[in-house]
Amino acid sequence: MRKNLMLLEELQELDLKIDGRQGERQALLDQLAELDRQVEEARLAVDGVKSELTVAEEEKRGLEANLAAEDENIVRSEARQKEIKTQKEYQAILKEITAAKKQKGELEEQLIQKTGQVEQLAADIAAREGDLDSLEENLGDRKAELASALERLDQEIASDASAKAETAKGIPASLLKRYEALRLRRQGVALVVARNGNCSGCNMNLPPQLYNSLYRGDDLVLCPHCQRMLVLRQDA
């Protein structure tokens, strides 16, 4: 059992190392995802302003068409004005022309505003697209850094994993299975050191008779409180 425990201790160390690196790996992946999210957010914002521009341009064309129609009305009414026979008809057409000119003035005012809005939106898009380009450029460098860090980490994890496989070969399958099951239930830590009369996994006091078994090293000894496998430190 002593040899098995030594191998298990080695395994536990490797597993904790791998777990730590997996944590780092996930953090890098999260950072990469966050960078992608930032770019996507900026791109969506540009798309949003582009749709606003499309609507504004359409409205502008509508105003221009209305304005042209109003111009035609005025020209037509003024032409008719010359052929008018009665005073009553004259008054009516004058009223029409006045109303059309008033309408034209309002449309011109709206068109000026709409044109200003279109120009502002176009400028906004240009600025946002410029920002997006530089964002993508900056993030490109950062992403390359993260990718190479990720690659390094993957290599380390692979080498730890092969060391783990090598160590595991020397451990009986049933013991290995127990170890892995314990690791799942105990936050990745299946095997801990007994030190100063305590289990270093849960810090609870260990009964003296259990220490005797640990000294003998013949059997697998579990902490009665957290059920983790125990190994003895002689300096304890």
Interface ranges with Zn ion (CB under 5 A)? 199, 201-202, 223, 225-226
Please report how close the Cβ of residue 186 comes to Zn ion at its closest, in angstroms.
9
Q: Which residues contact 210 (CB under 8 A, 6 or more apart)?
A: 221, 224, 230
Beta-carbon contacts of residue 167 (< 8 Å; ≥ 6 apart): 7, 10, 11, 14
Distance CA 176, CA 191 (A): 11
Characterize 61-95 residue by residue with b for buried, 16 or more Cβ atoms within 10 angstroms of its Cβ, and e for exposed: eebeebbeebeebbeebeeeeeeeeeeeeeeebee
* Shortest distance in whole angstroms from residue 8 CB to Zn ion: 16
Beta carbon nearer to Zn ion, 173 or 184: 184
Give the whole-angstrom CA distance, residue 71 versus residue 208: 106
Which C-beta is closer to Zn ion: that of 111 or that of 202? Answer: 202
Q: Which one, 104 or 195, has the nearer CB to Zn ion?
A: 195
Rounded to whole angstroms, the Cα distance separating 24 from 63 reads 59
Of 200, 177, 229, 210, nearest to 2 by C-alpha is 229
For Zn ion, give the closer residue by CB, 12 or 77.
12
Q: How far is the CB of 207 from Zn ion (least distance, A)?
A: 12
CB of 211 to Zn ion, least distance (A): 14
Residue 42 vs 206, nearer CB to Zn ion:
206
Shortest Å, Cβ 140 to Zn ion: 49
